[in-house]
Amino acid sequence: MIVLTASVPEAVADAAAGLLHQHGASGVELRDRDSLPPPGEVSVAVGLAEVRGYFDLPTTAEAAAEVLRQATGAEPDLEELPVEDWSSLWKSHFKPQRRGRILVVAPWMGEADVPTPHGGARIVLEPGLAFGTGDHPTTGQCLEEVDVFLQAHPEASVLDVGTGSGILAIAARKLGAGVTVAIDNDPIALRVARENALVNRTVFDLRPEIPKGATFDLVLANILANTLVELAPILSRVIASGGRLVLSGILEDQAEEVERVYRAFLVPRSRRVEANWVCLILEKQV
C-alpha cells in the first residue's frame, strides 16, 4: 500500500481529493485546520489542507502525484506502508452520520445494520469521495436546515450552490423537494454528484452555473466565506419572495462580515454554531 500525502491550499482541497480518486486512489482522507490531528501529528496550517490518498500500486501513486503536482503546485510525499486489509480498515473508520431525519451511510451498510429514521431519508455515499459526506459541521448544518425547511414547505424548489458530492440536493429530493438544481464550477464535482444521484435513485438538474431568471424557495451555499461575500448580490436575487438562504462554510470570526453584506438584501433569521463553524439563515421578505 502506497500513501500519497500533500499539503494544498484549502480552497482547492476538495478538487485535489477528487483528482486522486480520478487517478486510482482506493480511498482519500482530507484534513483541514478544524480537524483533530492524529496522535503524534501537528494541526494543519491556516489556509492549507492535507490530502492523503491510498494506492495499491506504486506506479499509480506516482502518476497521481504528478497530476496533483501540475494541478496545484503541491509536492506530494509517497510512503509505502505494510500490507494490511485496507478495505476493512477503511470501513472500520467510517461512522453513519445522522442529521435530523437524514441518515448518511456507506455503500456496504445495509438497512439491517443501520436503520433509516422513521419518515426520513437514507443517503448512500462513498466516504472516500471527500466532497462532502455529512461528517463536517458545515455540511451537517445545511442538512439540518434542509430537513427543517422541507417539513414546513413540502415540494419547495431548491438550489444547491457548490454541490460537491451532491449530498444536499440528494437530501432535498429524498425529503420531498420539487424542482431541484445543483451547480458546481468543478467538472469533477459534477461527475461525482451525477454518480451519487444515480446510486441514490434521485433526479435533479446539474449545471455549471445558476440558471438565468430562475428563483428558488430554498437556496443552499456551503462555500468559503470570501466566495459567499462575492456572491451576495447573485444569491440574493435567486431567492423567491418569502424564500430562505442558508449560508455555510463560515468560521466564527467571519460570520459578522458575511451577515453584514447580506443584510443589505435579506433579513437575518437565525444562525447555527458548531465547532467554530457558523451557518447563517436569512430570508427574503414577501
Q: List domains and CATH numbers for the chain.
A: 2-93 (3.30.70.120), 128-283 (3.40.50.150)
**Mean of the pLDDT values across residues 79-88?**
66
Q: Are 264 and 157 in contact (CB under 8 A)?
A: no
pLDDT score, position 41:
57
Q: Which long-range contacts (CB under 8 A, 24 or more apart) does 61-64 make?
A: 61/2, 61/4, 61/24, 63/23, 63/24, 64/4, 64/19, 64/20, 64/23, 64/24, 64/25
What is the grid cell recorded at 125? 455515499
Task: Kindly state the percentage of the chain with pLDDT values over 90.
Answer: 53
pLDDT band at 161 (very low <50, low <70, confident <90, very high): very high
- Of 217, 222, 230, give the one whose Cα is nearest residue 261: 230
Scan for cell 433526479, then name that residue: 203
Q: What is the pLDDT of residue 233?
A: 95
Sign of the alpha-carbon torsion through 132, 137, 138, 141 = positive
The strand ranges marked E within the chain are 2-9, 27-31, 48-55, 77-80, 97-99, 102-105, 121-124, 158-161, 180-183, 205-207, 216-222, 239-251, 267-274, 277-283
pLDDT of residue 84: 57
Distance of CA 160 to the CA centre of its chain: 11
Name the band, by pLDDT with cuts 50, 70 and 90, for residue 123: very high
Q: Which residue, 239, 278, 238, is CA-closest to 259?
A: 278
Reported confidence tier of residue 189, pLDDT bands at 50, 70, 90: confident
> Do the beta carbons of residue 140 and residue 123 sit within 8 Å?
no
Check pLDDT > 60 for residue 36.
no
Q: What is the pLDDT of residues 49-70, one digit of tens each?
A: 899 888 888 999 999 999 999 9
The DSSP symbol for 56 reads S
pLDDT at 21 over 50: yes
Q: Higher confidence at residue 227 or residue 186?
A: 227
Mean pLDDT for 12-30 is 83
Q: How much of the chain, in percent, has pLDDT values that exceed 70?
A: 88
pLDDT in tens, 260-285: 999 999 999 999 998 888 999 999 99
Identify which has the larger pLDDT, 169 or 131.
169
- pLDDT bracket for residue 191 (50, 70, 90): confident
Q: Is the pLDDT of residue 88 over 80?
A: no
Strands of the sheet with 27-31, listed across from one edge? 27-31, 48-55, 2-9, 77-80
How confident is the model at residue 81, as a pLDDT?
76
Cross-strand bridge partners of residue 270: 281
- For residue 97, the cross-strand partners are 104
pLDDT digits (tens, 9 = 90+) for 194-222: 999 999 999 999 999 998 999 999 999 99
For the stretch 245-254, pLDDT in tens is 999 989 888 9
How much is the pLDDT for 86?
53
